[in-house]
Chain A
Amino acid sequence: MINNKIPETQLFYYQIVSQEGISMDYIIETNDITKKYGDFTAVNSVNLKVPRNSVYGVLGPNGAGKTTLISMLCTILRPTSGGATVNGYDVVKNAREVRASIGIVFQSRALDDILTGREHLEMHASLYGVPSNVRQKRIDEVLDLIALGKKADEYTKTYSGGMKRRLEIGRGLVHHPKVLFLDEPTLGLDPQTRENIWEYITKLNQEEDITVLMTTHYMEEADQLCDEVAIINQGQIIKSDSPINLKRELKADTITVKVDKPELFTEKVKTLDYVQKVFEDDSTIKLMVERGENLVPPLVNFANQNGVMVESIELQHPNLEDVFISYTGTKITGGR
């Protein structure tokens, strides 16, 4: 367990001095950052402000531009126009300083099968110039945090999916980065492992002096982990706020109805004045309403009057999925 944040004596090397004159409330700021591939605009004039030491989520469907956005923040891709600062450094002009300030966990694996977990951490430490006198201590700290146990000295090809992920997250922490980028950290993991990873992310955010910027298309992940969420769709940020505020602002409950004649019902139900919005998704129809608990009986009656059989009806208070639907009109595919 790491109980203290950073020991005072080691501060000299990982305190990455920020440039003066830049507001330090925000560790990442983007300014109309844009990335185009030919005619296609992957990221369109995005302005993000990520508060220091927060867990910040970029939420959106596959292909929304999440990965392109963080690739630019990680200095892997160059913005077509606009810019960004990370830890006070410009991502184009001071790419090297940015790289020294950040840790990255890629969406796809970035491990070498035939190296051990400990070797991964050692190589990372030397690539990032962690001084050799503190290197072993730091590696042991990280191994403690990610709890690999005896597996630390085995080849990573013997690791489970969750262990590989933890190793990658731990590796990103070795050099005491100011920002940890996580691109879809739980993609392809089973639910139990996913919760396990969530715990690690929460824990490291509390124990290390670090800001976490993650992308995800899992609604509960954003809801549970993030202090603030930016919803991105088709390369643009649609809305950003804390998950609680986003849901509150919606002022809407969702009634999900399954009926035998969905088209007829959709058409009729649109005329009701207490129904604010209607979304159709295959055979289910989602109605956005206020104070949904009072509206279930009238809706069933209404359906019957119009000769529509209600197969099931369900009331939900809003979640982030609904927030997303209300702003984009579409569902995040793949979200559970």
Chain B
Amino acid sequence: MAELEGIYTIWLREMKRFVRYRSRILTSVVTPLLWLVIFGTGLGSAIRFGNVAGGYQAFIYPGIIGQTILFTAIFSGVSVIIDRQYGFLKEILVAPITRPSIVFGKAIGIGTAAVIQGIILLVLSFVVGVQMTPLIFIACTLLMIPISVGLAGVGLLIASFTDSMEGFNLIMSFVVLPMFLLSGALFPVSGLPMFLQAAVYLDPLTYGVDALRQIILGTGVIPLHISITVIMVFAAVMVFLSALMFTKKEQELM
């Protein structure tokens, strides 16, 4: 009971921050729109992309939703490093609730924020001329939950063993960008050279993007049930691992 209230409190704080930083919400919507409108239109008119109705722009639309979730979730998770050094997280870490509850509260808080951004993009589907039905909307929203929580878990896991933000660029280069580029957000993952193919299938986001693409556009390369299973397992493992790390590792707070 006390743990549940603790989780709720941490989630609530995450939500308050999300709602109050309006500029962040704005950028999180504008950035994917730039990708869709400029990159999508630009590259779309340079290449022949026949296999999807709506063309290249429609093809990358699920990928850009995945990208938005990826960036929001991982960076919010990693920002725990700053919060631990200079902010409110210290207050939470010394409270009489368990570390797994703290991590879980954080993960679902960040996850909720990422899902809300995904929902905003779903509402904006008309921009790329993709048809949105209530069923697709609900299915996508449900699917975004484990993707977001899992990626928040990745961010938290990184934060659990990192003490300073100096490694931030490393995280960008070695985690976030590869996950984005390998996910098939921008190109079809079938018919790639072997080494790239393997890397693509190691990227958990590939399954998220492919599942979203199947629901939204009806095309994909991985069977939907496999994608969903992979995403669920990924989310559970990431939250579990970061909870474990936060419990094991001594946190220098003072």
Contacts and interface: CB of A to CB of B under 8 A. Distances in A.
Interface of A: 67, 70-71, 74-78, 96-97, 99-100, 104, 106-112, 114-115, 119, 123-124, 126-129, 171, 183
B97 A106 contact: no
State the 10 A-B residue pairs at the shortest beta-carbon distance, nearest first: A112-B88, A127-B95, A99-B96, A110-B90, A100-B96, A129-B2, A126-B9, A67-B254, A114-B20, A110-B91
Contacts of A107: 254
B254 A106 contact: yes
A96 B96 contact: yes
Indicate the member of B92, B95, B254 with the most A CB atoms within 10 Å: B254
B48 interface: no
Contact of B88 (A75, A78, A111): A111
Interface in B83-130: 85-98
B contact patch SS:
helix
B77 to A, nearest CB: 17
A112 B254 contact: no
Contacts of B95: 99, 124, 127-128
Contact of A127 (B6, B17, B252, B253): B6
A72 to B, nearest CB: 11
Given A123-B91, A183-B254, 20 more contacts: A71-B253, A74-B94, A76-B250, A76-B253, A77-B252, A99-B96, A106-B90, A108-B254, A110-B88, A119-B16, A123-B9, A124-B91, A126-B8, A126-B9, A127-B9, A127-B91, A127-B96, A128-B96, A129-B5, A171-B91
Interface of B: 2, 5-6, 8-9, 12-13, 16-17, 20-21, 85-98, 250-254
Given A109-B87, A127-B95, A114 B251 contact: no
A200 B98 CA distance: 32
B86 A108 contact: yes
A328 to B, nearest CB: 23
A114 B17 contact: yes
Contacts of B98: 96
A127 B17 CA distance: 18
A54 B86 CA distance: 30
A292 B182 CA distance: 80
B14 to A, nearest CB: 11
Contacts of A100: 96
Contact of B16 (A109, A111, A114, A129): A114
